[in-house]
Amino acid sequence: MISDMTEPQQELLTTLITIAVVVGAIPGVCNYLILLERKLSAWMQDRIGPNRVGPMGLLQPLADGIKLLLKEEVIPGHVNRVLFVIAPGISVFTALLAFAVVPFGPVDEPGVPSWIRFIIAPGIDIGLVFIFAIGSLAVYGVVLGGWASNNKYSALGALRASAQVVSYEIPLGMSVLGIALISGTMNLEQIMMQQVEGGILGWNIWFQPVAAVMFFTASLAEANRLPFDLAECEQELIGGWHTEYSALKWALFFLGEYTHMITISLLTSILFLGGWHFPGIAEAGGEATALGWVIKLAVLLGKAFAFICVIIALRWTIPRFRFDQLMELAWRVMIPLSLVNLLMVMFCLQFEFSLWWLLPGSAALFAAWGSISASLRAAERASRPGYVQQQNAAAPAGGGAH
């Protein structure tokens, strides 16, 4: 039946199948990521976690989903009803739309049936720009939700979210400019294939370790994940921008957040860790078999899963920043670091130095910036009123025991 179709019809059918699979799979995956987060959190805190619904608690996400669907929808009388309802949809829509240009498996792989494709929109030469453009719109869901709630805590959360996203978009964008210069393209498929063809020593993580740390950290801030969840800091803002939300609309906000987590993990794997490539398991130029592309798909998803586990573990590892610390990290640390890193890449490419010089350069950059930050912090503490008196008071008294 598919073979009888014209090429445009086959392309349309393949696109529709891919969209249906992605849109249908992501909510279920997000539900089980919540279960994974609850299980890992329980393990880290020496608790048991969900274990009542189904064997080992595996049906807990289904129970939670049914509860949210059947729960009464409460819309307070003091809210702007139109924007209040639209805001969760914007968060989910932008998160899903950014997924359109992210390859979640081997692209243009021989042996893969024509109706199976591991990217919704292949061949987008400005894929990175598209992701950042759509990702920057995600904050509108948070801002509209906070403003439409007509609640002071929600409004403060929305203001924090807008300031946070604007600040961290700068190092996020600058962190991938080095990758674009090295690869000569912003097409995610080509960036991945260049690393695959170069083997494990061709992975961008060796040339851009600073950019990898900047990208991952800034992406967490963009997604409002801990320790960057100042927009919903419950100690200060109750629930922040989603204080007035409940039931399905509340769940949509977190569907957008967990979808963003998946996108972050896939992008980090594709940009810095070779995508589906893994030495001895998934290599370039292997035999074109169905088993081969399934293994490559499993390798890429396995890398993304590892990053998701890191994101979850960070929730219970690093305490939440104060808001001034959050802004300081972006403007005084990450933006200067990403700028100097970009200049190093431009220098190597301009004077045709080996890209391997970027590895010791990155180590020196980390060390130098750590020393500068420590010196600035010490000088700032010393300039505070009463600092000398506090130090003297904390020092042990002189003299021996009588």
Q: What is the pLDDT of residues 153-168, one digit of tens each?
A: 888 888 888 888 888 8
Residue 278: DSSP 8-state: B
What are the tens digits of pLDDT across the range 345-396?
999 988 888 888 888 888 888 888 888 878 877 877 777 776 555 556 655 6
pTM given for the model: 0.86
Q: How crowded is residue 401: how many other Cβ atoms within 10 Å of its Cβ?
A: 3
Number of continuous H segments (helices) and E segments (strands) in the chain: 14, 0
Residue that has been written with the tokens 């279920």 in this structure: 28
State residue 39 phi and psi, 5-degree precision: -70, -45
CA dihedral angle for residue 248, residue 253, residue 258, residue 264, rounded to 10 degrees: 160
Q: How crowded is residue 328: how many other Cβ atoms within 10 Å of its Cβ?
A: 14
pLDDT score of 288 = 64
Q: What is the mean pLDDT of the chain?
A: 83
Q: Which residues of 369-378 are buried (b: 16+ CB within 10 A; e: fewer)?
A: eeeeeeeeee
CA distances from 6 to 13, 20, 262 (A): 11, 21, 34
CA distances from 340 to 213, 354, 361 (A): 14, 18, 10
Peptide bond into 76 cis (omega under 30): no
Q: What is the pLDDT along the chain (402 residues), one digit of tens a residue?
A: 555 667 677 778 888 888 888 888 888 888 899 999 999 999 988 998 888 888 888 899 889 888 888 888 888 888 888 888 888 888 888 888 888 888 887 776 666 666 677 888 887 888 888 888 888 888 888 888 888 888 888 888 888 888 888 888 899 989 899 899 998 888 888 898 888 888 888 899 999 999 999 999 998 888 888 888 887 777 777 777 888 888 888 888 888 888 888 989 999 999 999 888 888 887 776 656 777 788 888 899 999 999 999 999 998 888 888 888 888 888 888 898 999 999 999 999 888 888 888 888 888 888 888 888 788 778 777 777 765 555 566 556 554 444
Find the DSSP H helices in 184-284.
188-198, 209-222, 234-237, 247-272
What is the rounded distance in angstroms from the CA atom of residue 195 to the CA atom of residue 199? 6
